[in-house]
Structure 1
Amino acid sequence: MGQPAAPSGAPVADAPTADIPDEGKGTLGLPQATALVIGGVIGTGIFLLPATLAKYGTVSILAFGLVTIGALCLAVIFGKLGRRIPSSGGPYAYARDAFGEFPGFLNAWSFWITAWAGNAGIAVAWVGYVNYFLHWDSTIGKIVIALVGLAVPALVNVSGVKNMGAFQLVTTVLKFVPLLFVAIVGLFFMQSANFGPFNAAGGSFLHALQTSAALVVFAYSGIEAVSIAAERVKNPERNIGRASVYGTLACAVVYMLSTVAIFGNVPHDQLVGSTAPFSDALNNMFGGSAWGGVMAAMAIISGLGALNGWTLLVAEMPYAASRDGMFPKAFGKLSKAGVPTVGILVGTVLTIIVMAVNYLWSEDAFETILLLATVTTVIPYLFSASAQLFWLVTRERAVSRGALAGDLAIAIVGMAFTLWMVYGAGEDAVLKGLIMLLVGIPVYIWVKASRGEYGPNEVVHDKSGKAVGTASSTEE
């Protein structure tokens, strides 16, 4: 097979060649694609999130509901865009196709930050459940546990896409069933006294709602997973949308019910300081610690599954951008197993650095990482919603006239939701996110210079006026 098409449907001038072996192309069917979404969304983050939200009070349940509506709107948007642009890269491909090369690069860079920084957050939560058994409570002990949790998914991903998909499907089933059990059975054991105050933070209602909503966004991070790995999916025009919506709906049900169940089964004061809230809930429901140990084991499996899926995504985004000449060439090379090994290894190393730094210098590593990742997550979401709105207004891509009003409403809600989440993340997270985003500009300059290009890329049209590719001014 030749070079895969760029998001615009035509190869980009001077883009590096990157063939995808048969093993890596069209390997994931609808069940595996849906599992990739669920596995990427449901990680150990949800297993620790109720404790983080408890300090803001039950207002966070309302925040969960609002964020769920926004997440479903974004899942629909990814499905619509996936049908129009069924190529790997997801938000990067959509922004590049609609707005050009530089916005595309910024989206790839922002999502790349989200992937490896977010993996650090998953690893931190994962350590809490491993320590349910090991009790390695020193900083060095936690870092060692996290290193093991990051190494296993990296090795699975390096071994090939088929192994990654099988591992993802198994871990998704093993974690989804017990989570659903707590979400449903836990509702029958709730006590109203456990819920605590509505606004436990003591500040304004709006501030508590915004901050808790920003934390919840990270729990839904991953709904775009299947769109990023589009060329690994069978029949992507159809399955990207279905997998995105099915996966998000499944996660929403479990998230909403389990959060309410945890709040109702663990006393508020105990929940705020918990490092394994689901285990504490099961212990309170049935007595003893055996059931809590079972849930801790499921959380460990869940974390490995989430890290496995995100390790793929941390490499897929720069891989797609590298093919278009927007990331260093090394990220666009595939191994014999059909995977971008450089992206996997570099992303894992960066995750380790973020994890270690936050353990050594942050009082609340999990919340710090979550708020930063929220900012870098919603930037690609904002551009995706904007791309959808752009195609609906210009109709330069296929648009259903009958569904136009509904699609416009969903795109506008998606845009408003992402802007609200940036604001809710807080000044510190926004500042750090902006700095990390701007650091990508020198990388863009380096990549452009290495291609001998200057000035913006121009769209090249054939005799009929149809866009067939891009070209840029080059140095003589």
Structure 2
Amino acid sequence: MGDNGINKKEKVELKKEIGIAGAVSIIVGNMIGSGIYMTPQTLASASNPKSTMIAWVITAVGSILVALVFARLGEKYPVNGGPVVYTRDAFGDFAAFLTVWTYWIGAWICDAAVITGFLSYLSFFIPILNQSRLLAFLASTLTLWLFTGINIKGSKEVGIVAVITTVCKIVPLLIFIIIAAMHFEPSNLSTVSSEALRGTNTVSVAVGITLWAFLGLDSVSVAAGDIKNPKKNVKKATILGIIGTSIIYMGINFFAMGAVSQGYLAKSTAPLADVINKATGSSWGGGFVAIGAIIATLGATSGWILITARVALSAGEDNLFPEVFGKISPKTHTPINALVISAIAANILLLLNFVGSLQMAYNFMVLIGTLAFLPAYAFSAVGEIVLLAKKSDKFNFGIFLKNSFMSLIAFIYVLYAIYGIGANAVMWGFILMLAGIPFFVYMKVQKINEADKN
């Protein structure tokens, strides 16, 4: 794998072509994808304003703690793979496989979910996308492979796309906050979409939902092999990205809830656009936000395709996935095999749009996709404790508590988020995890046979 006890085979290397601006933009771009544009509707359907804001604070603080784990580990392990590398070094192959298996699945679910969010906002201008499942599938497939092609060309291009789309997406969001604040009605914060949602018992559910908007906080750690001066820039980009995005998120959701009733939000298929339309009594504002959402989801699509391939590449290099995933093209210096295989998986998932409406497919993918990342977050949090202990000659309870306190709080937050996602999603996540074990067994047996032959 490479630095710090991570020994990698000699191979074609990735080019470090993404600077600090691109790194911050990838984190912000991956986080501000379809999540924040669709989350107000999902929260209005499952929670109330008070519980929602409590959930945003919990998720923001918890996500910052998790991000700090990745920032510190990314500084020590400036290589591709992020949580996969940390988990393997701390706990061994099996834990690392479970981490990368669920993370990779979650990543290509994100690819498909972000594209679904893109189509939902594009339907604001092209309504037939909400009416024709075939057309929606064809449009989503074209989008997926267009940005897979950009990723195949090189990480420099991905960084450029990230910077441009991040700037273009933040401006409409700030304008949204200003307009929503001007039409803020405190009475809207007392409304609910259903009387059953009153009370703070919906906080845990809201935490599970808001976490979706924070997925991507570890993006630069996963793609550290593409980052210039990763020991410095991975940590800096992670901290800047998560804090800035948290502030934007809470501002958007608070003023959205104050501008319209919860019942109105719950019925919306493009909540931010609909809030602007209702607040201004016109259609230009909604169209403006919809354009911002389209740009945001396109940028996030590019960034998530990068992350999906990089985590699969790391797994292939470390013999956790088949060797085909670990190959880098000597021509483009990109993991073409990992990119294509991941895109095929996401494309199959997009077929869900033939079964239900875009909103149904999106909500299902949000639940499963969110949960799929949490094992990686949990293993990384406790893995940091183990990795620190390996480098320390002294041990007592005081030293343990001092070195592990923040990581343990991050771990507890992840457990709470898993609880908040709900039993049904946890069941599907557990099934996905178990489904990967036969693949791990196959890779293990293959390595044993190769060792016997040698």
Aligned position for 2:380: 384
1:465 aligned residue: none
Is 1:348 matched with 2:340? Answer: no
2: CA distance, partners of 1:167 / 1:81: 27
Residue 19 of structure 1, aligned match among 12, 22, 41: 12
State the secondary structure of the residue aligned to 1:364: helix
The residue number in structure 1 matching 2:175 is 181
Is the contact between residue 192 and residue 261 of structure 2 (CA under 8 Å) also seen in structure 1? no
CA RMSD in angstroms comes to: 2.4
Aligned pairs for 1:62-77 within 5 A: 62-77=54-69
Between stretches 316-325 and 142-151, larger displacement belongs to: 142-151
Matched residue, 2:416: 420
Alignment of 1:134-149 (within 5 A): 134-136=126-128, 137-138=130-131, 139-149=133-143
Does residue 1:96 correspond to 2:88, yes or no?
yes
| Residues 191 and 263 in structure 2, CA contact (< 8 A), matched pair in contact too | no
Determine if contact 1:391/1:397 at 8 Å carries over to the other structure. Answer: no
Choose from 233, 249, 265 the match for 2:259: 265
Aligned pair in 2 of structure 1 residues 397, 424: CA closer, same or farther (>3 Å)?
A: farther
Paired residue for 2:22? Answer: 32
Q: 1:249: which partner in 2?
A: 243
Cα distance in 2 for partners of 1:25, 1:206 equals: 49
Matched residue type, 2:80: S
User: What is aligned with 1:457?
Assistant: none
Structure 1 residue 295 corresponds to structure 2 residue 289: yes
In the aligned structure 2, how far is the partner of 1:355 from the partner of 1:398?
52
Distance 2:233 2:422 in 1: 36
For the structure 1 residues 371 and 354, does the alpha-carbon distance in structure 2 shift closer, same or farther, using more than 3 Å as the test?
same
Alpha-carbon deviations, 1:263-284, whole Å to 9, x = none? 1122322211111111112223
Aligned twin of 1:217: 211
Residue 85 of structure 1 is matched in structure 2 by: 77
Shift of residue 160 of structure 1? Answer: 1.2
Contact 2:100–2:311 (Cα < 8 Å) also in 1: yes
> Residue deviations 1:92-128, cap 9 Å, x none?
0100111111211211111101101122221222111
Could you list the per-position Cα deviations for residues 127-159 of structure 1 after superposition, in whole angstroms to 9, with x for gaps in the alignment?
A: 111000000122223323322332221121111
How many residues align? The count is: 446
CA distance in 2, matches of 1:397, 1:310: 40
Q: Which amino acid aligns with 1:231?
A: G
Residues 1:9 and 2:2 aligned together: no
Residue 88 of structure 2 aligns to a residue whose secondary structure is helix
2:440 is the alignment partner of 1:433: no
Structure 2 match to 1:111:
103
Change (3 A) 1:238 1:198: farther
Q: What is the CA distance between 1:410 and its match in structure 2?
A: 1.4
Distance in 1 separating the partners of 2:415 and 2:301: 27
Deviates more, 1:135-144 or 1:42-51: 135-144
- Is this contact kept in 1: 2:168–2:292, CA < 8 A? yes
Quickly say closer, same or farther: Cα 1:326–1:190, change in 2 above 3 A.
same
Deviation at 1:48, TM superposition (A): 1.0
The aligned residue for residue 440 of structure 2 is 444
The alpha-carbon deviation at position 369 of structure 1 amounts to 1.2
Distance 1:326 1:301, change over 3 A: same
Residues 359 and 365 of structure 1 are in contact (CA less than 8 Å); yes or no, is this contact kept in structure 2? no
What one-letter code is carried by the residue in structure 2 that aligns with 1:18?
K
Given the superposition, is the C-alpha separation of residues 340 and 265 from structure 1 closer, same or farther in structure 2, using an over 3 Å criterion? same
Q: Say which is worse superposed, 259-268 or 210-219, in terms of deviation.
A: 259-268
Selected match of 2:311 from 305, 313, 317 = 317
Q: What is the CA distance between 1:85 and its match in structure 2?
A: 1.4
Aligned equivalents of 2:402 and 2:290: distance in 1? Answer: 42
Gaps of 5+ in 2: none
Distance of 1:141 and 1:184 partners within structure 2: 35
Distance in 1 between the 2:154 and 2:287 partners? 32
C-alpha contact 1:199 1:205 (8 A) present in aligned 2? no
Larger CA deviation: 267-276 vs 166-175: 267-276
CA deviations 1:170-195 (Å, max 9, x no partner) are 11111012112223442232112333
Counterpart code for 2:5:
G
Q: Which amino acid aligns with 2:81?
A: G
Q: What is the TM-score of this pair, normalised by structure 1?
A: 0.88
